Chain A
């Protein structure tokens, strides 16, 4: 507002000479001023004095300035100039007020000026007087006479925790949990099983035997190592690319097949579309299609666990795309405020169907978002089995001991298509997919480490792969021929007890079937 006052009193400044295309600018500025801002400024004059006093101690006159003076942003091409401007004028803020008009002039060719780097997140205390602190709701803050913006990005990205290199050799000085032979082998075998299962079920969909499938190819390490690091009491809220956790916890290949084919042996009574597994006895909450709804729900479950004083936590998964949903904000914010023991794991695999992460967010990935909510976070190499195992173990221990949420960002790559309804070669290059499928495959890397320890041989590999293949094919054959769930399962579980209207509908349906038996499908038992 103070700026506007200046404009009223010293309109001459508006027309001071400007270096490039000045006549054009001058014309536009004068137009803008007289047509748009003059009336606005008149009514603001009345309040301007108090606002001026108020503004003097504030740090961003430029924001107001910018909003008032730049209705047509495309015209003023120096979009980021206000920050550098702040850098130039921070030494003596009152100088700012005298040169207000020049600011407008300077803005025009900011792109030509080499901008001074805005400050990184941490503030130095040298140019601040430590006695100068004021309190506001939220606590005391020291104040500073400098205008310092927190940069939107840091020079270096947050580093990623990694234990094994691409050839399966542990890095010198790497710190990780000791994994005994039994766990290491179980992890490897589960990863192989998951990979083969995914391949064969995907093919089954292509052959028309199931309606839909989603693979977890490329993310086997996240699936299995996380499951291995957690305890069976931890409640999992999956997104949809975490069947490995169920596999680890004992869900059999036959149970997977039954869910995909929707047979009568499916614990889910054929209610859900394929890959939407759920299992109460394995503490795996049924997969829900709307993205990120599981995040605030995880905070709720964790809160309940806390009230029950259980030695367990809630673990919620999401992808990079899921972090854009409103529920991500609500879930993380809430978990932090309520101090709920949730472990949020984000599988940043680079793609949300066809949206690459450059179109998803502009922050340094997901790990930096944790701090915004007051949540401790870490970035890990999601394709490194040992790194995932160690990091999740450490995170879980912190979550339960301190009863606070933790955010883990696991970097990885989605090798497969988003689902069987997607053809990712349409939006990403084939060679990129091949590279991640072969050179950066999590299984290959981990296998090298396991074999080097003398725990695995090539013969065992072939044998395992052969037997899993047979098991999966067999499961498909059996499930394909199994009957579907009976008719009564159409009506049950809508409510706790069958309501009257559904009871009537079922009765009327059965009567219709009796009258027209030939129209009723043969593989649905009554």
Chain B
């Protein structure tokens, strides 16, 4: 829907404003929105390496369709922040070509739904070229943009692509949740010599999270391929990524009142998947619930379930519960949309089922 907005920003240069929703004056914690985290990560990487450049629709003059690239055009100039015509296939191809040569492009898709128009270049060119050229041509490119459902944008703006990109060898797929994740993982992605698909979430851009001093250091980056335990627990493991981590944490609070101590794992990296941490957690709690926004068939939850069965089958005390979005194109009407996406109540119910605290709703379907 934002694609329709084509107005250029006023000619007057905009000062880079870092908007902090609340200022905490303690020395250890500072709050930062995910948007600011991404913006500062891009800023730091662009100043550290002159080969990094941004490309995408509305990233320059408009300051970014979601204001993630605010102020960067003013700071680095039009050669390093390139506003592109509306051709995903075109600018993805150009980005891949530039990466072949040795530059480090960061290609922004207004949403990953539109990246489907460029998917041949992402998969057949970016992901496979290092292998097919026997290591001679590496593709140090980052594809980033919002992924998954926003609010009231309909079917062609709401699909989650984590499972699709997660299936491709040659790609790395990251799904940050908090500001610290966003900041650290984006820096790691830009520095990585392999093509990275960086799936953000539009609704998380405005959310603020506390960040430690360490994160603010320019040299900081989060290692790729490591999940994070957001909340420790001992009764059941809830594995989620992106926005669903927030929902899982809320569900864990509700469950705590019922005496269920849930462990919430933030995957952070879909490919490579942190198999060892998921296994370690399940071996500790013996129960697993996976949560994702995307379509259920062949989803991330299906992969996690399969790997648990392969590695830790004997440790499971209950079948794995898989929560995913409804198997329909996303409806627009607000009530239907709400029903098509996992909500906190769904996570609570599924976790209780995994703990044998409730009878399945549809026992006879």
Contacts and interface: CB of A to CB of B under 8 A. Distances in A.
A201 interface: no
A494 B90 contact: no
A496 B129 CA distance: 11
B89 to A, nearest CB: 5
Contact of A272 (B84, B102, B132): B132
B170 A296 contact: no
A272 B100 CA distance: 18
B79 interface: yes
Interface stretch (A226-234, A241-249, A298-306, A474-482): A298-306
Given A334-B91, A493-B131, A278 B97 contact: no
Given A280-B137, A293-B120, A496-B193, A301 B97 contact: yes
Interface in A313-369: 314, 326-327, 329-331, 333-334, 337-338
Given A271-B132, A305-B101, A334-B91, A297 B96 contact: yes
Contacts of B192: 496
B136 A300 contact: no
Contacts of B82: 338
A293 B103 contact: no
Given A286-B129, A305-B101, A494-B170, A330 B93 contact: yes
A440 B193 CA distance: 49
B93 A271 contact: no
A145 B304 CA distance: 68
Interface string B178-213: 000000000000001110000000000000000000
A301 B100 contact: yes
Contacts of A333: 85, 87, 90
A197 interface: no
B169 interface: yes
Interface string B56-97: 000000000000000000000001001011010111111111
Interface in A491-521: 492-496, 499-501
B130 A296 contact: no
B275 interface: yes
Interface in B111-145: 120-121, 124-125, 129-138
A299 B100 CA distance: 12
A81 interface: no
B172 A495 contact: yes
A271 B101 CA distance: 21
B98 interface: yes
Give chain A's interface residue range (CB within 8 Å of chain B).
35 or more
B319 interface: no
B132 A297 contact: no
Interface in A416-475: none
B280 to A, nearest CB: 15
B134 A326 contact: no
A322 to B, nearest CB: 13
A303 B99 CA distance: 11
Contacts of B94: 296-297, 299-300, 303, 331, 334, 338
Interface in A210-242: 235, 237
A290 interface: yes
Interface residues of B, number: 44
Given A271-B134, A495-B194, A285 B100 contact: yes
B152 interface: no
A492 B135 contact: yes
Contacts of B233: none
A278 B101 contact: no
Contacts of A296: 89-94, 96-97, 121
Contacts of A307: 79, 103
A345 B5 CA distance: 37
A493 B100 contact: no
Contact of B136 (A278, A288, A301, A492): A278
A298 B95 CA distance: 10
Contact of A288 (B102, B105, B125, B134): B125
A493 B87 contact: no
Contact of A304 (B98, B121, B132): B98
A297 B130 contact: no
B272 interface: yes
B89 A286 contact: no
A271 B130 CA distance: 10
A267 interface: yes
B121 to A, nearest CB: 6
A4 interface: no
A305 to B, nearest CB: 7
A354 B179 CA distance: 55
Contacts of B97: 237, 294, 296-304, 314
A27 B93 CA distance: 54
A295 interface: yes
Given A269-B134, A286-B133, A337 B125 contact: no
Given A293-B120, A297-B93, A297-B96, A304 B101 contact: yes
Contacts of B136: 267, 278, 280, 286
A286 B79 CA distance: 27
Given A278-B136, A288-B125, A493-B131, A293 B90 contact: no
A268 interface: yes
Nearest to B87: A330
Contacts of B87: 326, 329-330, 333-334
Nearest to B121: A293
Interface string B138-158: 100000000000000000000
A337 B101 CA distance: 20
Interface in B163-182: 169-170, 172
A499 B225 CA distance: 10
A270 to B, nearest CB: 8
Nearest to B135: A493
Contact of A327 (B79, B93, B105, B137): B93
Given A293-B93, A500-B225, 16 more contacts: A268-B133, A272-B132, A280-B136, A294-B97, A296-B92, A296-B121, A299-B97, A304-B103, A307-B103, A331-B94, A334-B87, A493-B134, A494-B131, A496-B138, A496-B194, A501-B272
